Amino acid sequence: MTANQKTSGLNEHMLLGESLFTAFFRMVQAVRIHQDNNQLVIQSASDFIHAINRFGGDESHLTIQIISGRFYLQQEKLLYRRETANLINNALVYFEKRSLHGLSLSTAIQSKNLGKVLHFAQLMNQAESRKDPSGWLEEQMSDGGFDWVELVSQPDSDNLHNLDGPDSLTIAMDAMAVNPEDNAVKSAEIAYAGSLTSLKEVIGKVSDNRPAGIRKTVRIVQKTVDLVMDKRSVLLKMSTLRNHDDYTYTHSVNVSILAICLGQHIGLSKTALETLGICGLFHDLGKVDVPLKILNKQGKLSDHEYKEIQKHSLNSVRHIAKLRAPRELRSKIMLAPFEHHLKYDLSGYPRSWRSKPVSLFGRILTIVDVFDAITSARIYRSESVSPAQALKRMNESSGKDFDPILLKAFINMLGVFPVGTMVALDTGEMGIVSENPEKSDGLHPLVTILVPAEDKGYARGETVDLSERETPGGKYKRSVMNTYNSALYGVQPSKYIL
């Protein structure tokens, strides 16, 4: 088999796996909110059956397993691609809430079995509220009518070892890492996906009034801190990830990363960075109490709705106080989430008679929270600005909304044109700022050129250094003419700069 054939087979298997998880998750969500005769429910179940059938041929059954927190399809590890990381994380959390280790599905199932598939989806949803979810589900399935699906037991250690053998097929986000830079990117992507997963688990349990432990969250943040200290530029690139449908989660992860990066830039200790990173992940935890119709409302909020939004800072503290974590840690991560909307001059919310200045962590969260928020496209916002424009706007509120010294440090860290900024060059080219070298003047970053593609999108071109001159001491070969928000062009910066 040639290298091209291997790549083709890898891509085909990857797409089949992603279509399966997409169909499955849409089906269980549709069944949760609609009646069986709803067209959306019927279509989602049909898509799920079709996705299973596509694994047919020589395969009579399709096996999905969770091993060490990862999905395996037919004993082949399914790693995350950036485009589908959120989907796979959602499916993983869904399985783990039901204590499921996997499923074995008959690839011969037909559309005539639609009713049985929907019944199974209903049972899957109901299992979450049971004391022993997987045991209850298996008992319900024993009544008959489920000969096309079986629950998979937890694999033993020998099987786990074999799955990770040298001959196993790994479905990866990108090509396997072959140099330190690629290894750093791979580690950053795994840390980002892990942060999303752990945050979703905590939020899910908090929403259901269940005890939520944060040991996994702490481990992930510690890993993120290590990566920032070793390769901060890669984590800054990861923080350009934007997901409109998963904004609450990606925003919190981005805030955590940016806070750690700024803390490291001003010289905080590793222990302090870990605490700051956890504060960033949980700074909006109180939004679980805000109705979605308010969070996602288009247009201006009413006074009543705005007051509901303002409660989330205090509610974050209340939920953090209930987390299953050492008392000392909980006490360290309460204050900054409470303060992140107070503003530097204390004119923000929650309003109080306090005269003490906002804590260092609170001032850091205020800056990174606003930066990520106004550079993200949101359903209720008519426009979102480029990272460069965001820094300019924020600088206008220096001393009022933001600590002027910290904001200056933040701007120095990101550069005049932060990573992820979409730029128009005087050569007529479009590009994405991919890095601001430490010795750069901030005005001449590295830019990855966007090459117009046939589908009206863009392909990744060469990366150019804007500090290059036509002659020594002469005119620059390229200069930035304007900046744009990449979301307005349907461009995900991380796709081109990682």
* DSSP per-residue letters across 107-168: TT--GGGHHHHHHHHHHHHHHTTSSSHHHHHHHHHTTSS-TTEEEPPPP-HHHHHHHTSTT-
Give dist(CA 63, CA 73) in Å, integer. Answer: 6
Q: Residue with structure tokens 């949803």?
A: 125
Where does residue 267 fall: left (phi above 0), alpha (psi -120 to 50 degrees), or beta otherwise?
left
Which is it for the CA torsion 10, 13, 18, 21, positive or negative?
Answer: negative
In this prediction, residue 167 carries a pLDDT of 33
In this prediction, residue 180 carries a pLDDT of 60
Tokens of 123: 């049972």
CB under 8 A, 24+ apart: contacts of 32-40: 32/125, 36/115, 36/118
pLDDT tens string for the chain (498 positions)? 444 444 344 456 667 778 888 888 889 989 989 888 889 999 999 999 998 888 765 567 788 888 777 788 877 777 667 677 777 888 888 888 888 888 888 888 888 889 889 999 999 999 999 988 888 888 888 766 687 888 887 654 333 334 443 333 333 334 333 456 677 888 888 888 889 888 988 998 899 888 888 888 988 999 999 999 988 989 898 888 776 657 788 999 999 999 999 999 999 999 999 999 999 999 999 999 998 888 877 778 889 998 999 999 999 999 999 998 888 999 999 999 999 999 999 999 998 777 789 999 999 999 999 999 988 866 545 466 889 999 999 999 999 999 999 999 999 999 999 999 999 999 999 999 999 887 777 789 999 999 988 777 899 999 999 999 999 889 999 999 999 888 778 888 888 998
Where does residue 109 fall: left (phi above 0), alpha (psi -120 to 50 degrees), or beta otherwise?
beta
In this prediction, residue 157 carries a pLDDT of 38
CB under 8 A, 24+ apart: contacts of 10-13: 10/169, 10/171, 13/73, 13/76, 13/169, 13/171
Instruction: Give CA separation, 195 vs 90, 187, 221, in Å.
Output: 13, 12, 7
Query: Which phi and psi (to 5°) does residue 355 adopt?
Result: -120, -10
Domains (range + CATH), the chain: 3-163 (no CATH), 180-414 (1.10.3210.10), 422-497 (no CATH)
For 106, the enclosing helix (H) or strand (E) is strand 102-106
Give dist(CA 156, CA 134) in Å, integer. Answer: 18
In this prediction, residue 19 carries a pLDDT of 83
SS3 string, 421-459, reads: CEEEECCCCEEEEEECCCCCCCCCCEEEEEEECCCCCEE
Give dist(CA 60, CA 10) in Å, integer. Answer: 20
In this prediction, residue 99 carries a pLDDT of 87
Of 280, 336, 290, residue with least CA distance to 310: 290
Tell me the pTM: 0.65
266: helix, strand or coil:
coil
Instruction: Give CA separation, 4 vs 9, 11, 116, in Å.
Output: 9, 10, 40
Distance, C-alpha 391 to centroid of its chain: 23
Residue 76 neighbours by CB under 8 Å, 6+ apart: 13, 168, 169, 170, 171
For 270, the enclosing helix (H) or strand (E) is helix 270-282
How many beta carbons lie within 10 A of that of residue 438, not counting itself?
9
Q: What is the DSSP letter of 80?
A: P
In this prediction, residue 385 carries a pLDDT of 81
In this prediction, residue 78 carries a pLDDT of 75
Where does residue 99 fall: left (phi above 0), alpha (psi -120 to 50 degrees), or beta otherwise?
left
Query: Which phi and psi (to 5°) does residue 107 adopt?
Result: -75, -5
Which is it for the CA torsion 97, 99, 101, 107, positive or negative?
Answer: negative
Q: Are strands 102-106 and 61-67 parallel, antiparallel or unpaired?
A: antiparallel
Which is it for the CA torsion 367, 373, 376, 377, positive or negative?
Answer: negative
Of 347, 352, 366, 358, residue with least CA distance to 314: 352
